Every structure is written in structure tokens, then in C-alpha cells.
Amino acid sequence: MTPAPAPAVSLPTSDADPFAAEHLAQPEPLHQQLRQAGPVVHLSRYNVYALARYREVHAALVDWQTFQSAAGVGLADFRKEKPWRPPSLLLEADPPHHDAPRRVLREILAPPALRRLRATWQTVAEELVDTVLADRGREFDAFTDLAGAFPLRVFPDAVGLGPEGRENLLPYGNMAFNAFGPANDLVKADADRAAGLAAWVNAQCAREALSEDGFGSRIWAAADRGDLTHTQAPLVVRSLLTAGVDTTVHGLAAALYAFATHPDQWQRLRERPESARVAFDEAVRWQSPVQTFFRTATTDVTIAGARIPEGAKILMFLGAANRDPVRWPDADRFDLTRDPSGHVGFGMGIHQCVGQHVARLEAEALLTALARRVAHIELTGEPRRHLNNTLRSWAALPVTVRPAR
């Protein structure tokens, strides 16, 4: 990617709406069309430029100077429109404003700092699986009973939230990720409760609302040391509550769906439980819980010969990049023999998900606990998607299991 002025190539155009219900429910056909159309496709409905191939998506993610996040990582342009909430200091900021918040969170959420949580989370995962198998038997909803239940039990504790109101976390995250798309029916459906959900989350970010031994209190301690301002601290806590729940819930659901539809891979995990983290990353690549994010061009730029003007919105299809057959042989297959490193399901570059190690630790705990107790898992009914403008979400994942002897 280089600054223009080279002669521009003819740009393919599509009137497809990536936020239409049929594409949100089943995005792969559109992704294939966009990849085949070219490295850059103009989406006329929104006047944005789509990147669906791995090479171009990866390049845009790592080039924050040319493709900024500070103008918003959704369709809205913060240079022209007022954000619906104060922008995220991590997701919707660039250096230098992005640097201190990310540095603080990176230290708090680094693998060495998470080791103290491993034993506790493993115990909670084993207790949860035992309870589900005892109370539900062989048939249950793997989304509600496992993928949704486990993160909502361990992550709020780790942040330092109190016990009341945790049921607001998933609806708030759903609302926040919907807001990255157009003001369609999905956004309008949350309008009546938007203010209440935002007020509850903001209240949880205050110092006095947090326990003294969680991630949240460590963020406030960083502010006391001068590593952050006290104005920034609650916004950094909010980033954890916005991006740290829904994405992990739907990532775990993706892994459970993958294993329920690939019994040979489940057997491989049972034989090699140490591969649980790789399995989770392969599921994130295969299903891409975060499907899209936007960037804004800071200058006229040429991508693969296509000229994009300064100020234009660029829609990066992370899910399409993660199934680009040029980068991933047999890309549509969930395969534990694959090395999924390099996938863009957690982003890439300075805006790469700072909480990805937390998600992997949660996945490792739940998947290993389940693998020790369940010999076989399969779908027992049609899974139901929950539509979201940004996330590939679930509403139900009915499964039947055969307990291990």
C-alpha cells in the first residue's frame, strides 16, 4: 500500500448490503463474491471500500498511520458525527492517545499476570461442566449452558464487578457492536434500553464499584501512579466490559459448534488436550466472531492499483480474510492440524485485541474440562444465530453428548 498517484485501475462495484439479515446469518457467499471481485470493491450502498482478501486486510490493520481508527471503527465518521458514547481509548484511538491505555492493559492482561487465574478458572470450568451434565443430562444448549455461562462467571469476577446486574453485560456488548454498523433495525431494537444499559456499565467502571483485587482496581492504581489520567481510567475499564464478554462468549460457541460438526477433531482434542488453545484459535479463524471493522483513510491511498480518497471509509472483512484460500489451504475446513497463527480474528498491529490471552485462557479451561468428561458431541437440532452488525453471534446451540467412561 503506497500513497497515490499511480494511475487507478477500474474498481469493481457491488450494491450488496453486508448488514442485511441474509448476509449476517450466512456471510460466506458474500465473502467469496467480494474476494473474487478483486482486492478492493466499492460498496455503493454505503459508499465505502471493502477489503475481503487476507493480504489487503492484514496490511490495512497494521498500517494505522494510513488507515486510522480515531475516526471510528464503524460506519459513522467521528470527524463529522458525534459518537453515541465517548470513544474507546483502545479501539477508537490512535497514537499517541492510544499508547498509555494499551500499555497499562497489556501489562495487566499479559500471560504472566494471568497465571494466578488459571487454577481457579479450571476449577470453575470443571464444576460448570459437571453441573450441566448432572442437571441437563445428555442434551442441552451448549451456547447458553457453557459458552455463555462460563465467561459470565469468571470474567466479571476477574474485573472486580459486584454480583448484581451482570445480566446486562451481553446486551450492552450486543448494542455496542451493533452500533458499528448502519442505523438499521438491529440498532433500533436496542434504542429503548440503550441509555439504561450504558448507565449501568458506566457505573461499574467507577473505582468504588470495583473490588480491590481485580483488573479494574489495577487500572485505577495505574491512574494513581500517573500511568493514566483519572479521566481515562473508567474508559479503560469500560473497554474490558465492552469487548471482553461478547467476543469470548461467541468465540467459545464457535469452538463448540466446530467440534459438534467435526467429530474427528473432537477426538483429536481429547487425545491431545494440550492443543486446546490452538483449537480455539482455529475456531476463531473458521467462524470469526468479530466479522468486520472499519478504518478511515488519512490520505489518498492506492491499494493494489485501486485509488481510495482521503476520508473514505474502508470496511475490512475479517471473516472473509480468515477464509481466504490464498492464505489458508482448505480454508472452509476446521482443522486442528492447521497452524492458525496469523489469523485476523483478534485484529493485527497496535489495535490487536489486548485481551486475547484472557479469551484463550477461558477457552483452554472450558474445552479441557469438557474433553475429559465428554467422549462425543454432536448437534441435536438446528443452531440459531443471533444477528449483529459486527459479531457472528449465537442464540442457541442444541447438542447431544455421550459422557466419557
Yes or no: say if 118 and 220 are a contact pair by the CB < 8 Å rule. Answer: no
| 294-to-104, 125, 256, 390 alpha-carbon distances in Å | 25, 35, 28, 10
Q: Which residues pair with 386 in a beta bridge?
A: 393
Yes or no: say if 403 and 133 are a contact pair by the CB < 8 Å rule. Answer: yes
Model pLDDT, residue 6? 47
| 348-to-66, 225, 386, 391 alpha-carbon distances in Å | 15, 29, 26, 17
Report strand pairing: 292-297 vs 67-68. Answer: antiparallel
286-333 pLDDT, tens digit each: 999 999 999 999 999 999 999 999 999 999 999 999 999 999 999 999
Model pLDDT, residue 182? 97
Q: Which residues pair with 314 in a beta bridge?
A: 49, 295
- Between CA 328 and CA 343 the distance in angstroms is 9
> Where are the chain's structural domains?
2-403
Task: With cut-offs at 50, 70 and 90, classify the pLDDT of residue 111.
Answer: confident
Residue 357's nearest CA partner among 258, 281, 289 is 281
175-209 pLDDT, tens digit each: 999 999 999 999 999 999 999 999 999 999 999 99
145-164 pLDDT, tens digit each: 999 999 999 999 999 999 99
Model pLDDT, residue 8? 57
- pTM for the model stands at 0.95
48-64 pLDDT, tens digit each: 999 999 999 999 999 99
Model pLDDT, residue 86? 87
- Between CA 64 and CA 185 the distance in angstroms is 31
Q: Which helix (H) or strand (E) holds 102?
A: helix 99-108
Residue 379 exposure: Cα atoms within 13 Å on the Cβ side? 14
Set of cell numbers at residue 375: 467422549
- Between CA 396 and CA 355 the distance in angstroms is 25
Residue 145 exposure: Cα atoms within 13 Å on the Cβ side? 22
Mean pLDDT of 243-259: 95
Yes or no: say if 402 and 259 are a contact pair by the CB < 8 Å rule. Answer: no
2-403 sits in which CATH class? Answer: mainly alpha
Model pLDDT, residue 84? 87
